[in-house]
């Protein structure tokens, strides 16, 4: 039985909530190598999944959260997103309720059920990567002050 929320990586935790130095954190967490992971061929062959791959990689890279080790997680998210979009198109085409049988009983479309499942799966993946609106609202960005003083930057600032 799961016990609470799974822990977030320290780098993501710092980006979302600021420096955790005043609270207990994982001091032995391995540092993942930075960089864009290679897009798997079957993701590159799927236009929607490939576009989502590039979009998410760009977002994660701009937040300094992208690692070459994220390939499998990104693959699963992007393929799920592509399936969500395909199910969404079927719901647009056929509607979210089908009338079946000779008495025309209403039944929820299986495409609608799949679309909702894929939507929930995508939402969970986005939370894992810290890409939801709530995650952005908690984001803390350090702004470096630029000084026109010719002596600035020579001595380290005590902090």
DSSP 110-151: HHHHHHHHHHHHHHHHHHHHT-SHHHHHT-----PPP---TT
- Rounded Cα distance between 54 and 128, Å, is 17
Q: Please, what's the largest Cα pairwise distance for the chain?
A: 86
pLDDT digits (tens, 9 = 90+) for 55-79: 999 998 988 888 888 999 999 999 9
Three-state SS for 14?
A: helix
Mean pLDDT of 134-143: 60
Q: DSSP letter for 98, please.
A: E
Mean pLDDT of the chain: 80
Q: Closest Cα to residue 33, out of 80, 67, 79?
A: 67
Does 142 reside within a domain?
no
Domain count, the chain: 1
For the segment 42-63, the average pLDDT, to the nearest whole number, is 94
Check pLDDT > 80 for residue 9: no
Looking at residue 94, its pLDDT comes to: 92
129 domain-assigned: yes
- Determine the distance from the C-alpha atom of residue 144 to the mean position of all C-alpha atoms in its chain, rounded to a whole number: 27
Does any domain span residue 56? yes
CA 48 to chain CA centroid, nearest Å:
16
Segment holding 69, helix H or strand E: none
- Measure the CA–CA gap between 75 and 154, rounded to whole angstroms: 45
156 is a domain residue:
no
102 pLDDT tier (thresholds 50, 70, 90): confident
pLDDT in tens, 75-91: 999 999 999 999 999 99
Task: Note down the domain range covering 82.
Answer: 10-16+33-137
Flag whether 70 is in a domain. yes
150 inside domain:
no
């Amino acid at each position: 039985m799961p016990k609470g929320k799974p822990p977030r990586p320290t780098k993501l935790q710092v980006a979302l909530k600021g420096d955790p130095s005043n609270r207990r954190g994982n001091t032995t967490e391995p540092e993942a190598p930075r960089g864009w992971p290679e897009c798997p061929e079957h993701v590159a062959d799927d236009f929607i999944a490939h576009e989502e791959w590039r979009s998410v990689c760009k977002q994660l890279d701009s937040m300094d959260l992208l690692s070459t080790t994220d390939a499998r997680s990104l693959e699963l998210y992007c393929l799920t997103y592509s399936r969500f979009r395909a199910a969404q198109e079927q719901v647009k085409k056929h509607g979210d309720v089908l009338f079946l049988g000779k008495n025309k009983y209403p039944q929820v479309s299986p495409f609608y059920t799949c679309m909702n499942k894929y939507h929930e799966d995508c939402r969970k993946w986005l939370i894992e990567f810290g890409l939801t609106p709530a995650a952005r609202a908690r984001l803390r960005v350090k702004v470096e002050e630029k000084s026109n003083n010719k002596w600035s930057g020579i001595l380290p600032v005590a902090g």
